[in-house]
Amino acid sequence: MQAVSENKCFGGVQGVYTHASDVCGCDMTFGLFLPAEAADGPVPVLWYLSGLTCTHENAMTKAGAQQWAAEQGIALVFPDTSPRGEGIADDDSYNLGTGAGFYVNATQDPWAANYRMWDYVAEELPRLLVNNVAIDEDRQAICGHSMGGHGALTIAMAYPGRFASVSALAPITHPSTSDWAKKPIHAYLGEGNVDWTRHDACLSLRANGFAGPMLIDQGTKDPFIDSLMPEALAAAITETRHPGTLRMQAGYDHSYFFVSSFIEDHVAFHAEALYA
């Protein structure tokens, strides 16, 4: 775990680090904010999974989450969205390849060699951080935007008891029936080979449930809203009677202006669960 940069931020430290990833077969970069309380011992951690075309840096610099995490004494982790580097498979499409790992473990060539973002986010990076940083592995929450919302929801439901809460901003909710989201997942996993119960938040909620609270925000002017399908997740929450809240935010789009407008609510939401 090598430090690229470390900056004082709201009394804590916003760092950027690289490490050699066995899972992805390349060097990976991530952002980590540690509040001042981390100097005295392990603190709760909130994972933030980013969307298509993003790196670790987008949310780290645009969402404004550090101010609210510092007030709550919570660490923030900003993983990258895909493997990167020379020799790593890529595609001209913005929703496949670099910046578009979709938080799955690819099984199809040429992606299988490096695109194992599920194991990276859910297994390898947490182990690295628990072993090297003052975060409390027993107090974790997870959040994401767009493709990252898809990742946050599906990973949270696949690991019962790990995450105290889950939230998402404009998440891809029902990729098994959304051609826009289905195409890259088929490329990674093979058409006919996808375990949609694992990789579709609506199906996973119905099959596996989630023990903690859930918060979803969706802008009504989001140009991707028909592919994101918030109404499908609302139906799944209703049918399972899950204690989830889905808020349709009038006039908001898909940008980081939308994310930064509601990130304070999301950090406070997770803090309540993490300190319960």
- Tokens representing residue 237 in the block: 């929450």
Nearest to 154 by CA among 180, 185, 115: 185
Question: Where on the phi/psi map is residue 85: left (φ > 0), alpha (ψ -120 to 50), or beta?
Answer: left
For residue 75, CA distances in Å to 129, 130, 133, 240, 261 come to: 11, 12, 10, 31, 20
Interatomic CA distance for residues 120 and 166, integer angstroms: 19
Instruction: State how far Cα 60 lies from the chain centre.
Output: 13
For residue 123, CA distances in Å to 116, 117, 130, 272 come to: 11, 10, 11, 25
Interatomic CA distance for residues 95 and 188, integer angstroms: 11
Question: Where on the phi/psi map is residue 161: left (φ > 0), alpha (ψ -120 to 50), or beta?
Answer: left
Catalytic annotation, residues:
146, 222, 254
Per DSSP, what are the bridge partners of residue 75? 45
Q: Are strands 75-79 and 26-34 parallel, antiparallel or unpaired?
A: antiparallel
Nearest to 33 by CA among 59, 2, 1: 59
- Tokens representing residue 125 in the block: 């990076």
**Please, are residues 243 and 213 in contact by the beta-carbon 8 Å criterion?**
yes
Interatomic CA distance for residues 241 and 23, integer angstroms: 37
